Amino acid sequence: MKKVIGIDLGGTKINGAVVDESGEILKWDTLSTSKSGSPEEVMYGIKELVLMLSEGENISAIGIGSPGFIDSVNGKVLSVGGNIEGWAGTEIKSPLEKEFNIPVQVENDANAAGLCEAWIGAGRDMESFVMLTVGTGLGGAVFTRKEGIWRGHHFQAAEVGHSILYPGGHQCSCGQRGCTEEYVSGTAIENEYERLSGIKKTGKEIFDNFESDSIARKVVGRFTWDFAMFLITIKNIFDPQAVIIGGGVILSKEFWWDDMIGNFESEVNNDPGMIILPARYFNDSGTIGAARAALDKILEAD
């Protein structure tokens, strides 16, 4: 049975796993990264993690899930690099193939998460779904059983985090103002808390003090409203069978999920029954999906 490595590159850490053809994780490890780290530092971290995971293993391919607009054919970050400073324009595929002498497949991180959930996760029995990854930023993937992941003509399909939620609103790193990920993401929650209180706290600290901190409750309430309005837009544009929500913020869903669903149901027009559910693999779906992309790469070659 073939083994591959899946790497999920996030704004604060790099997760990696050795995964077999059934989707089972055989080995797992992680390294911290930094939004302000140079592309060279990030690539060094990816190589270090691959070396750690591949020790004593016969690895057939490597899959990388990366933030930003990703040319999945050439394995390169395009003009928007997501939440890693200087990441736009980075070549990922060619240096890794040169270093390890095995095939490398690079996908947008949300597309990788969608591949996982379609393979062995919450979408495995779905004909169509939109995957949302709510973490440092907001990523999206559109999947249909017939066509697979929709990447778009310019590899920019389902960049839902950069849809405009509030025209002229908060400045986004992509250059636009009012992007949805400036209101619906872990970073958005932290930024809004700081705007209202003048105090900088992590998302975990905000949720840990949810019951006793009125500002935290206000921030999370705004988040649930904005998220619900965004879900209505997703429903009206794509009409998917389901929306599957993953990413790091899903781990705190006890504080916001029910209110988000309530806001959606109170405002949506003519809902035909779109299912909204958490990812089966929560924050691990990007890593497993990157491995799935690597498996697809070598299976196509066979």
Q: Which residues are catalytic?
A: 109
Q: In what order do the strands lie in the sheet with 13-20?
A: 25-32, 13-20, 3-9, 59-66, 104-108
Q: What is the distance between the terminal CA atoms of the chain, rounded to a whole angstrom?
A: 14
Hunting for tokens 């607009």 — which residue is that? Answer: 69
- Helix and strand totals (H; E) in the chain: 8, 12
Cα–Cα distance measured from residue 188 to residue 204, given in angstroms and rounded to the nearest whole number: 13
Q: Break the chain down into helix, strand, coil percent, rounded to 5.
A: 40, 25, 35
CB within 8 A of 209, min separation 6: which ones?
Answer: 216
Hunting for tokens 């070549």 — which residue is that? Answer: 91
Cα–Cα distance measured from residue 199 to residue 168, given in angstroms and rounded to the nearest whole number: 25
**One-letter identity of residue 91:** E
Element at 206 (helix H, strand E): helix 203-208
